[in-house]
Amino acid sequence: MSDNDQNRYLCFMLGKEEYAIPLLTVREVIAVPEITPVPQTPSHFVGIMNLRGQVISVLDLRSKLGIKPNASADTAVIICDLHPNSLGVIVDKVESVLNPDPTHLSPRPQMENSKANDYVTGIYRKEERLILLIDIAKALGATDLGLAARTSGEQKKAA
């Protein structure tokens, strides 16, 4: 793994805003597959999917962060490796891979009483646009990660 890999991000759209997560957390990007709903889960927990024999929990990142979805043919699922589990997050559109110039990075703004303080790791200024760099595990939170692990784990036992 090179230093270059450490500084690359996958950029995607949620609503009209751009976000990016470290490329090292991304296993792959797929079209939205058939998803099996799981009863009595939070509304942003879409369900589970089968990815080449592995049961993966799928969450809607837009819903989790309170962003109005902009569903289209570009809607995708980013499969993230959040050790020890993999998790799918639905986004409106995957844009590109970024290798940001460190001189265009800013620290996250301090926001009073905002959960964004926990998961926004920085801001990338790209031309006239601002891209929020986020920690996907912190954005989802321990409750969602635990639910995803239990749901995937229960399905593995049942298989």
What would the pLDDT profile of 126-148 be if each residue is shown by its tens digit? Answer: 988 999 999 999 888 877 888 88
pLDDT of residue 4: 57
pLDDT of residue 87: 94
* CATH number of the structural domain spanning residue 154: 2.40.50.180
> What is the pTM (predicted TM-score) of this model?
0.87
Range of the domain at 7: 3-158
pLDDT of residue 145: 84
Identify the segments of the chain with pLDDT beneath 70: 1-5, 112-116, 153-159
Q: How far apart are CA 75 and CA 70, in angstroms?
A: 8
The angle formed by the CA atoms of residues 42, 62 and 140, to the nearest 5 degrees, is 60
Q: What's the number of domains the chain is made of?
A: 1
pLDDT of residue 159: 39
